[in-house]
Amino acid sequence: MPLNKLAYARYNIIDDCLTNKRRKYPSMEDLITTCEEKLQKQFSISQLQKDIKVMKEGIMGSPAPIKFSKSHNGYYYDDPDFSIKRVPLNSDELEALHQAADLMKVFSGTRVSQYFNDAVHKIDTALKVDYGQPQKNHYPIIDIERPSAHKGFQYFEFFTEAAQNRNPVSFVHYSYDKRQFSAVILHTYMLKEFHNRWYVIGYSEKHKEVRTFGIDRIYDPLMLNRQFTEDKKFDPDYFLKDLYGVLPLKGRKKQRIDFRVNPRLSNYFIANPMHHSQRIIKYHEYGTVDFRIEVVPTLELLNDFFMHSTKLVVLNPDWIKEEIKMMNKTAANNERLFG
């Protein structure tokens, strides 16, 4: 039977109390108080009695030899060496742990923080030492698209810490479009990944508004001892839900966008919606499908439409149709210039 997290936490606390050599024979009141202190929740006598019964029945893998001593008015383990923490994992649990460790390894490396990598390494080593190698699949069975040596990715942890601790940061930013540097002071609110690239979003003192910066264009960030600015206009939903990508097009609000996809690409769009708002608005006889999304248009959206433009046409709004036309024209000119 699967254990719920809170019950599991209580069993561990009861086990700690029963194995505490400095304070033997904890009473029911002691057990309740300790559970309440550690879990910041209230528990009844009947709840703890039930927990003891369940532990005795062996829900943790082996029956816990819990006894009550009338002379000491408290509980104890009949076997002084017993602890639920020493109960071995069964094969299903072990396999699940190995799978989880594999999954965590995939997300470690350059992807999260050094602390996370260290923790994953410890778990992996502990599993191998205590339980040996898993019997099958000695290679990772999960692989994900990962940034290997993306420029600026070394600052990922720095910005995570800045957002968590609410420390403003100073950095130098280079704009690929304007071909210009700027010294930015940013109050980081969040980091966002899109198409395997990372961006920091926060209030920029220079621009006096919430801005997005590609982490690959950032140089030498420094943590500042300065009051953190919370922009009241900052709406996380805008960045997390409404925006397709990260770089909104100036003056363009959330809007409906309809597009038609040919039969070769439509199944891909049905299986992998480009946005959570994506709906099918019409099936055509020969497999062409019309879709609708409701998003804040971004540069990334235009690029993705352009990328699929041999199999996809935007139906409306007109301004996006025009933008894609212009991009196709530029591509044709580029072919003449560089081809």
Positions in the binding site for another protein (CB under 8 A): 167, 170, 172, 174, 179-183, 185, 206, 219-220, 222-226
Q: Give me the residue label for tokens 């070394």.
A: 154
Residue with smaller CB distance to another protein, 145 or 220: 220
Residue with smaller CB distance to another protein, 3 or 223: 223
User: Cβ 174 to another protein, closest distance in Å?
Assistant: 6
Q: How far apart are CA 308 and CA 305, in angstroms?
A: 5
Phi, psi for residue 98 in degrees, rounded to 5? -65, -40
Residue with smaller CB distance to another protein, 69 or 165: 165
User: Cβ 165 to another protein, closest distance in Å?
Assistant: 9
Give 172: exposed, middle or buried? Use CB within 10 Å, 0-12, 13-18, 19+. middle
User: Cβ 198 to another protein, closest distance in Å?
Assistant: 19
- The count of other CB atoms within 10 Å of the CB of residue 331 is 11
- The count of other CB atoms within 10 Å of the CB of residue 142 is 10
User: Cβ 43 to another protein, closest distance in Å?
Assistant: 42
User: Cβ 162 to another protein, closest distance in Å?
Assistant: 10
Residue with smaller CB distance to another protein, 217 or 254: 217
Q: How far apart are CA 287 and CA 141, in angstroms?
A: 35
The SS3 assignment for 323 reads: helix
Residue with smaller CB distance to another protein, 4 or 180: 180
User: Cβ 171 to another protein, closest distance in Å?
Assistant: 9
Residue with smaller CB distance to another protein, 45 or 183: 183
User: Cβ 151 to another protein, closest distance in Å?
Assistant: 12
Q: How far apart are CA 87 and CA 91, in angstroms?
A: 13
Residue with smaller CB distance to another protein, 156 or 158: 158
What is the DSSP-derived secondary structure letter of residue 151?
A: T
Spatial CA neighbour of 124 closest among 147, 111, 145, 106: 106
Q: How far apart are CA 209 and CA 184, in angstroms?
A: 12
Strand (E) or helix (H) holding 235: none
Respond yes or no on whether the N-terminal peptide bond of residue 168 is cis (omega within 30° of 0): no
| CA 292 to centroid of chain Cα atoms | 27
Residue with smaller CB distance to another protein, 226 or 276: 226
